[in-house]
């Protein structure tokens, strides 16, 4: 159904019909305007139904009457004159009227006008110059009714013409809109297909053709209208012939303009509107000619950085030469200075354009290196995952057999050996487990059980579980937690492991007799936790280095540890939606974590 509809909408027959209709309706629009011009229609009746409220009544009827009465009252000897309206005026001494004031007030169409006395000969003796008099005017009902009838006749003639004009405008817009939408489209696909005929013409020439056609059309139509600018109640034979001529000229001009317009639309859809211009072709040819002297093909065997350096040298020398030409031309001919500025602009354009290409190649090389690095990193993660998985089975067997040996009746020396084997195999098990979990978190496959949990309670629980380990050290834990519970949306088991690793690190590497600080504070709907301790050795590493896998702060390795604790803590924290940061300040080692508060 959709395919059939698309075939119908994009069929050549429908496009041709829409094109012809667009030309017809555009011609009809112009002929409507010409007809109204020839008939000398006043368009005000379209917008104002009552004649007495129109500008025509005010400007052509009432204002001239007021001026006439001004002249009449300013004349010392009043001539006998018939007026088609009623008036009443008195200056408290003389009265001029053709109707009584009472009778005038009873009429429907009456008006009052202020008269300033010092403007008229009759009032030269008036001492009070600020005084004003009122002139009363009125029109007979039958007179206004006749004028209203003429007004209604004009309105009744204009309404159908206006409706027809608006229908032509809407129909023309619909046809043009349809042609613009389907321009370049065929029923077979959604690609833009250019015409092998009109679309070969350069875009700027087509735009110029539209402007030239409109100019010729305006010129011919304007002269035709000027030759037939007399107005009659009906069209004359000459006016009828001129309308036919204007219609033919408009149809031809509309066909040319619409044809070029649709060609420009097709090029715009295909992204070739600017590139397919004569100006662009000329400038592109000049640019290619200039670039041919400095093309990268001349030193394509050089590294990209050396190409940049060579191009910079060429640009500097060329620009300097253009500056020299410019100053010389100022004394010879300014035209050469303008030409030098133009060439300098081309050189600058070439320089930045070629540099852009080189930088894109360099950036592409960086991206390729990054991809290779990520691929290598993924291979490392896969290797760690696979090795960890492969080590689990034999390690489980070793631990099981060591446990069985510990239950046997062995000599004292052998029991010591078995105990050492048990400790080392357990440590190896922990390392393998840490590697496996770190690999999963790095690859994004770490399973999470997210829930609302009390972070304060989690820290207190971790400290309680590690109480035995804390007592074995000569350290004091100083906590500064919030008074109220703080809830976050995270994985409790993973965060328990995070705090266990961080506090365990502090217990291993802190200076004996010092304190370990655990601070917790909330700010801006965020909870921050800081674990701070004083190191028992010189920290000659950076925060970034200590977060690397297998990297330990204790270079002598006099303490138990795999170097994975902080890496696991960082990975788990980020997987749980938090932030993880390590800061080193002298002998102070700080771990800062932040989590968004859920409620």
pLDDT of residue 559 exceeding 50, the answer is no
Q: What is the mean pLDDT of the chain?
A: 79
Does residue 172 sit in the same domain as residue 266? yes
Does residue 259 sit in the same domain as residue 311? no
Does residue 592 sit in the same domain as residue 452? yes
Q: Given its phi and psi angles, is residue 525 left (phi above 0), alpha (psi -120 to 50 degrees) or beta?
A: left
What's the pLDDT at 306? 64
143 is a domain residue = no
Burial of residue 555 (CB within 10 Å: 0-12, 13-18, 19+) is exposed
**Is the pLDDT higher at 396 or at 280?**
280
**pTM score, two decimals?**
0.49
**Is the pLDDT higher at 264 or at 196?**
264
283 is a domain residue = no
The helix or strand, by DSSP H or E, that contains position 589, with its residue range, turns out to be strand 588-596
Q: How many domains does the chain have?
A: 3
534 is a domain residue = yes
Segments forming the whole domain that contains residue 314: 304-371
pLDDT of residue 359 exceeding 80, the answer is no
Does residue 34 sit in the same domain as residue 159? yes
| Mean local confidence (pLDDT), 78-102 | 83
Range in 238-252, 351-365, 451-465, 466-480 the model is least confident about = 351-365
Does residue 177 sit in the same domain as residue 249? yes
36 is a domain residue = yes
265 is a domain residue = yes
pLDDT of residue 408 exceeding 80, the answer is no
Does residue 574 sit in the same domain as residue 519? yes
**Is the pLDDT higher at 118 or at 85?**
85
Domain-terminating residue out of 356, 371, 386: 371
Helix, strand, coil percentages (3-state) for the chain, rounded to 5, are 65, 10, 25
Does residue 176 sit in the same domain as residue 39? yes
Q: In the 3-class helix/strand/coil scheme, how is 25-90 assigned residue by residue?
A: HHHHHHHHHHHHHHHCCCCHHHHCCCHHHCHHHHHHHHHHHHHHHHHHHHCCCCCCCCCCCEEEEE
Does residue 254 sit in the same domain as residue 358? no
Does residue 332 sit in the same domain as residue 251? no
Q: Measuring CA to CA, which residue among 585, 589, 583, 593 is closest to residue 497?
A: 593
CATH number at residue 488: 3.30.565.10
503 is a domain residue = yes
pLDDT of residue 95 exceeding 70, the answer is yes
328 is a domain residue = yes
Q: Given its phi and psi angles, is residue 571 left (phi above 0), alpha (psi -120 to 50 degrees) or beta?
A: alpha
431 is a domain residue = no
Query: What's the alpha-carbon Rg for the chain, to the nearest Å?
Result: 48
Residues across the chain: 599
Does residue 220 sit in the same domain as residue 355? no
Q: Which tens digits make up the pLDDT trace of 433-478?
A: 655 565 655 655 567 778 888 888 888 888 888 888 888 888 888 8
Does residue 264 sit in the same domain as residue 311? no
């Amino acid at each position: 159904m959709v395919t059939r509809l698309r075939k119908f909408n994009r069929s050549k027959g429908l496009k041709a019909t829409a094109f012809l209709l667009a030309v017809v309706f555009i011609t009809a629009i112009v002929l409507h305007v010409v007809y109204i011009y020839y008939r000398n229609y006043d368009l005000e009746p379209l917008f104002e139904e009552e004649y007495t409220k129109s500008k025509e009544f005010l400007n052509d009827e009432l204002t001239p009457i007021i001026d006439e009465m001004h002249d009449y009252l300013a004349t010392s000897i009043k001539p006998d004159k018939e007026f088609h309206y009623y008036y009443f005026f008195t200056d408290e001494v003389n009265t001029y009227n053709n109707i009584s004031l009472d009778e005038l007030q009873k009429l429907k169409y009456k008006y009052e006008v202020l008269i300033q006395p010092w403007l008229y000969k009759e009032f030269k003796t008036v001492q009070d110059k600020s005084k004003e008099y009122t002139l009363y005017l009125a029109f007979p009902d039958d007179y206004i009714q006749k004028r209203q009838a003429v007004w209604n006749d004009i309105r009744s003639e204009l309404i159908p013409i206006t409706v027809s004009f608006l229908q032509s405008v809407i129909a023309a817009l619909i046809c043009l809109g349809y042609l613009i939408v389907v321009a370049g489209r065929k029923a077979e696909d959604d690609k833009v297909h250019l015409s092998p005929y009109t679309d070969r013409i350069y875009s700027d020439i087509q735009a110029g053709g539209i402007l030239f056609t409109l100019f010729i059309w305006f010129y011919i139509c304007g002269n035709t209208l000027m030759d037939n600018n007399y107005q009659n109640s009906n069209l004359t034979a000459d006016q009828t012939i001129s309308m036919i001529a204007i219609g033919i000229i408009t149809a031809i001009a509309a066909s040319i303009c619409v044809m070029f317009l649709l060609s420009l639309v097709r090029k715009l859809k295909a992204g070739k509107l600017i590139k397919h211009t004569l100006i662009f072709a000329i400038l592109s040819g000049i640019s290619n000619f200039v670039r041919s002297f400095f093309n990268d093909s001349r030193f394509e065997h050089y590294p990209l950085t050396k190409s940049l350096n060579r191009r910079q040298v060429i640009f500097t020398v060329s620009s300097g030469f253009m500056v020299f030409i410019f100053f010389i031309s100022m004394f010879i001919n300014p035209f050469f200075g303008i030409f030098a500025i133009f060439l300098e602009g081309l050189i600058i354009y070439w320089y930045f354009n070629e540099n852009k290409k080189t930088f894109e190649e360099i950036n592409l090389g960086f991206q390729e290196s990054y991809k290779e690095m990520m691929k290598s990193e993924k291979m490392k993660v896969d290797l760690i995952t696979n090795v960890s998985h492969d080590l689990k089975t034999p390690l489980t067997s070793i631990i099981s057999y060591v446990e069985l040996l510990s239950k046997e009746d062995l000599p004292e020396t052998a029991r010591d050996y078995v105990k050492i084997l048990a400790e080392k195999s357990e440590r190896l098990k922990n390392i393998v487990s840490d590697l496996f979990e770190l690999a999963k978190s790095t690859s994004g496959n770490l399973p999470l059980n997210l829930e609302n949990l009390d972070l304060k309670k989690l820290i207190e629980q971790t400290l309680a579980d590690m109480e035995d380990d804390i007592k074995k050290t000569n350290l004091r834990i100083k906590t500064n937690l919030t008074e109220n519970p703080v809830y976050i949306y995270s994985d409790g088991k993973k965060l328990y492991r995070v705090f266990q690793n961080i506090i365990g690190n502090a217990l291993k590497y802190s200076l004996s007799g010092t304190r370990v600080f655990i601070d917790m504070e909330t700010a801006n709907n965020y909870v921050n936790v800081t674990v701070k301790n004083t190191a028992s050795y010189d920290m000659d590493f950076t925060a970034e280095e200590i977060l690397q896998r297998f990297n330990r702060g204790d270079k002598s390795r006099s303490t138990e540890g795999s170097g994975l604790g902080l890496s696991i803590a960082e990975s788990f924290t980020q997987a749980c939606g938090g932030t993880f940061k390590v800061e080193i300040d002298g002998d102070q080692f700080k771990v800062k974590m932040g989590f968004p508060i859920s409620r």
